[in-house]
């Protein structure tokens, strides 16, 4: 099994005719993702990678009945694209675009949640169920099918950890890059709950960073309710206070936001914290004994 995405999931791509949308549509198709069409306003009737292009999401939904959408729409128009997908009832919306206004995204997230729609991102690499389907920009060749779930705030560190897992013979059930913005659709806790109920996910690796309180909330859940081995890595040990480090949400605004504070808190709760990303496979192996 997997969470959110599998080989039968039907996907559309919003912004499919743009440079990034077209390129990554090709990469997703090569991986085996079941992309059924795309949306670019004013391009109705055009073909992209042999797939039909529609003017609106509602047209695509009526014709193709997709399970998920991947948003490559430029920042200026991306929030409208997200609202289109929410109002059309698509169950999984993966927002690759960065730079969405936080207030607008908060409103969209609240409305989507009330309708049971899952948002991933924005400013994220997407989601992949290895050897079945990927939605987003992750390099599929480093992933291997298996039983470790991965949730990460960092795209690059996702790849580093997954490569280490694969090299150690530890495949992944589903890997999700949740994005590094202050406001994101799905957080660690939301996805941990899905992994808890997935019988084929035997353990989980969380990749966190400075800023925010998500790691603390996730740690409480892991300690009290999760019931499966979980290890973490926290990036940003040398980050200076008050300076954003790559991600808009990665900023030390107070003592609890620092990597050191998070590492200490997680360790006190009995959750293993890796010193380096490549240490995660060894820690998972120890936790699973």
Active site residue ranges: 247
235-246 burial, b at 16+ Cβ within 10 Å, e below that, comes to: bbeebeeeeebe
Whole-number Å distance between alpha carbons of 82 and 89? 11
The bridge status of strand 126-129 relative to strand 172-177 is antiparallel
Sign of the C-alpha dihedral computed for residues 245, 246, 248 and 249 taken in this order: negative
Distances (CA, A) of 111 to 18, 101, 117, 202: 28, 16, 9, 32
215: which 2 tokens? 């790691």
Question: DSSP alpha helices (H): ranges in the chain?
Answer: 19-31, 57-64, 75-87, 102-114, 155-167, 188-196, 214-221, 259-268, 280-288
CA distance 82 to 266: 34
- What φ, ψ does residue 143 adopt, rounded to 5°? -95, 150
DSSP character at residue 143: -
Question: Which tokens hold the place of 105?
Answer: 């995204």
Tokens of 29: 């198709």
What whole-number distance in Å separates Cα of residue 199 and Cα of residue 233? 24
Q: Where are the alpha helices (DSSP H) in 19-100?
A: 19-31, 57-64, 75-87
Cα 81 to the center of its chain, rounded Å? 18
DSSP-derived pairing of the beta strands 68-71 and 10-14: parallel
């Amino acid at each position: 099994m997997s969470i959110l995405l599998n080989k039968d999931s039907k996907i559309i791509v919003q912004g499919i005719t743009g440079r990034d949308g077209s390129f990554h549509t090709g990469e997703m198709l090569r991986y085996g993702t079941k992309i059924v069409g795309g949306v670019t306003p004013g391009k109705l009737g055009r073909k992209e990678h042999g797939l039909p292009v529609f003017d609106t999401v509602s047209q695509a939904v009526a014709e193709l009945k997709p399970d998920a959408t991947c948003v490559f729409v430029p920042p200026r128009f991306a929030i409208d694209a997200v609202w289109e997908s929410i109002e059309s009832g698509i169950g999984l919306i993966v927002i690759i675009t960065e730079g969405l206004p936080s207030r607008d995204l908060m409103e969209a997230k609240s409305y989507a949640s009330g309708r049971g729609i899952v948002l991933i991102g924005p400013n994220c690499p997407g989601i992949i169920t290895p050897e079945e389907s990927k939605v987003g920009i992750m390099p599929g060749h480093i992933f291997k099918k298996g039983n470790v779930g991965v949730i990460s705030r960092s795209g690059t560190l996702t790849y580093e950890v997954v490569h280490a897992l694969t090299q150690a013979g530890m495949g992944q059930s589903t890997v999700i890059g949740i994005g590094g913005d202050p406001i994101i659709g799905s957080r660690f806790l939301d996805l941990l709950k899905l992994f808890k109920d997935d019988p084929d996910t035997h353990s989980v690796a969380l990749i966190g960073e400075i800023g925010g309180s998500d790691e603390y909330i996730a740690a409480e859940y892991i300690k009290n309710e999760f019931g499966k081995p979980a290890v973490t890595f926290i990036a940003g040990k040398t980050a200076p206070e008050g300076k954003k480090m790559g991600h808009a949400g990665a900023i030390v605004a107070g003592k609890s936001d620092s990597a050191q504070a998070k590492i200490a808190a997680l360790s006190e709760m009995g959750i293993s914290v890796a010193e380096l990303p490549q240490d995660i496979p060894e820690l998972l192996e120890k936790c699973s004994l």
